[in-house]
Amino acid sequence: MYTYADCTVICGNLEYADDQRDVVLNPRLIVEVLSPSTEAYDRGKKFEAYRTVTSLREYLLVHQDRPHVEHYSRQEDGSWLLREASGLEGLVQIGRMNIRIELAELYANVLKS
């Protein structure tokens, strides 16, 4: 099963499924933006499929209707740890990739009143 993420980060050389070069096999970080029509799929079957990708270490679910990000991180034993960031003061930190995302910046042009 192939799916397309809203955003993908690859570290190192790209590995493709075939000569069409439209399916990457080695994502390190995948980001999905949740919408009412995709939320159940992104949390369920899609994340279940993503967890079979051995290179995947981080999975972010970004809510589109409020400043809230769910950060799943694969642990050394293969389990997944959930950390959440909420509100415009929230912060997502992915230490092993040296990534820092301030929710105020992420949502700056989204939550206009």
Assess if residue 46 is contained within a domain: yes
CA dist., res. 34 & res. 15, Å (int): 27
Query: Which domain covers residue 89, as residue numbers?
Result: 7-106
Q: Which has the higher per-residue pLDDT, 5 or 24?
A: 5
Assess if residue 28 is contained within a domain: yes
CATH number of the domain at 83, please.
3.90.1570.10
| pLDDT tens digits along 69-107 | 999 999 999 999 999 999 999 999 998 999 999 999 999
Assess if residue 111 is contained within a domain: no
Q: What is the pTM of this model?
A: 0.90
Assess if residue 34 is contained within a domain: yes
